[in-house]
């Protein structure tokens, strides 16, 4: 059985009616995106539960086997070929369990959004698009889509037309913007309700991007 994830919880009000599961990137932890909650400036009457999971610690081959928090190992920057598929599946399963727990706690599936940055964005796409019920959407920042054929095989009616927000930096030195655009094209070709933006930044997040994310979240969660 896959081990469950430890996570931080930030509620913006009492009795949250929506949930955003936000996944960090390689080498970070759940605290990394915790400061984004006030920066999103969501309406005060919108009570949202933010979950910031910590990825498991594992040796990362491309970093000389150094142990760090990672959603999956990868052997090279040959995107789409160097990733450990079993790790991606296991991380997707762990995030799926978090979604299930929020639904069991009373939050409707369509008011749950899965978000992620870089490696976290990969898992957000797999967990959100492959979920058995229709979610509120997927937020995937500075990321790409390995194992796309495997994800497509798991897609059902629930994911048809699912809202997806993607953003990338023109100067991303880790995941080239062209790789991110390949993921966008894949989603467009399969009918997802895609909103996509590019920004003059590297492998990071900028204020203009956060404002666009806030606008998208307001439209999804009301």
**Catalytic amino acids?**
118, 172, 203
- With tokens 């930030």, the residue in question is 10
């Amino acid at each position: 059985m896959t081990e469950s994830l430890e996570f931080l919880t930030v509620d913006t009000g009492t009795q949250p009616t929506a949930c955003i599961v936000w996944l960090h990137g390689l080498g970070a932890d759940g605290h990394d995106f915790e400061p984004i909650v006030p920066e999103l400036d969501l309406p005060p009457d919108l009570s949202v539960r933010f979950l910031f999971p910590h990825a498991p610690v594992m040796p990362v081959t491309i970093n000389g086997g150094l142990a760090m928090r990672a959603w999956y190992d990868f052997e090279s920057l040959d995107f789409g070929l160097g990733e450990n598929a079993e790790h991606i599946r296991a991380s997707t399963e762990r995030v799926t369990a978090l979604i299930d727990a929020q639904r069991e706690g009373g939050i409707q599936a369509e008011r749950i959004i899965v978000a992620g940055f870089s490696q976290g964005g990969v898992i957000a796409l797999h967990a959100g698009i492959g979920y058995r019920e229709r979610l509120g959407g997927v937020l995937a920042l500075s990321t790409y889509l390995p194992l796309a054929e495997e994800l497509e095989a798991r897609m059902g009616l629930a994911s048809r037309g699912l809202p997806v927000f993607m953003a990338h930096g023109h100067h991303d030195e880790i995941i080239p913007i062209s790789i991110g655009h390949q993921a966008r094209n894949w989603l467009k070709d399969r009918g997802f309700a895609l909103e996509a933006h590019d920004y003059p930044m590297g492998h990071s997040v900028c204020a203009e991007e956060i404002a666009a994310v806030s606008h998208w979240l307001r439209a999804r969660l009301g």
